[in-house]
Chain A
Amino acid sequence: AQKITQTQPGMFVQEKEAVTLDCTYDTSDQSYGLFWYKQPSSGEMIFLIYQGSYDEQNATEGRYSLNFQKARKSANLVISASQLGDSAMYFCAMRKGRGSQGNLIFGKGTKLSVKP
């Protein structure tokens, strides 16, 4: 069965520093996708970044990058130059492989607090 594990319930980072949020996953599928979403206190879910299982390069989107280590089944999110507005819950998610309609399985999330 597919599973996403986020072992850090909460993280603190100083403004302007980089932070890594951990995510490991478990799947027997060869084809899958990994996502990170941000959930601010207002509650909406904001897509940040995507990594496909066959992508050779690590995904990057602005200040977000995904450190994808396929053999270790990890997909850590790196936020560079943290800003106060980055304070939020961050969820790692996985899309199941072929045959699925793109349903996402989410981890329990990491609450990031950026200190001024």
Chain B
Amino acid sequence: EPEVTQTPSHQVTQMGQEVILRCVPISNHLYFYWYRQILGQKVEFLVSFYNNEISEKSEIFDDQFSVERPDGSNFTLKIRSTKLEDSAMYFCASRDGTNTGELFFGEGSRLTVL
């Protein structure tokens, strides 16, 4: 069964360092998303991406964040200068073009900022 894959599964970084989280969405999907979940809290939307551009972003997604789809398969989230409060699980998700298509989530990348 096709799945969304994310790497790394866990990354530890120093405050102020740049981090890139990688995702390979399901191949025929058209919409791509990043969500984050701070430990013990709800899942929060960061950004959606469609047709090679950001289609929507939340107020969490400030200038420190960027997304890119550098080739036909990868979808990356970059955090330019990490802060302690960026420590969270980051989920990539994708869905097809149907109106009712559910989001398929990857297993998440846990980011720990020290």
Q: Which residues of A line the B interface, CB within 8 A?
A: 33, 35, 37, 42-47, 50, 52, 91, 93, 100-109
Contacts and interface: CB of A to CB of B under 8 A. Distances in A.
A50 B100 contact: yes
A116 B108 CA distance: 30
A45 B105 contact: yes
A35 B31 contact: no
Nearest to B48: A101
Contacts of A46: 105
A52 B100 contact: yes
Nearest to A99: B56
The residue among B45, B102, B106 with the most chain A CB atoms within 10 A of its own CB is B102
Interface stretch (B11-19, B36-44, B64-72): B36-44
Contacts of B110: 43
Contacts, number: 57
A37 B106 CA distance: 13
Interface of B: 31, 33, 35, 41-45, 48, 50, 55-56, 89, 91, 93, 95, 100-108, 110
B5 to A, nearest CB: 11
Contact of A50 (B35, B50, B102, B107): B102
Contacts of B105: 37, 44-47
Top-5 shortest CB links A-B? A45-B105, A101-B55, A106-B43, A44-B107, A101-B48
A103 to B, nearest CB: 5
B42 A101 contact: no
Given A43-B108, A44-B108, A107-B42, A101 B103 contact: no
Nearest to A37: B105
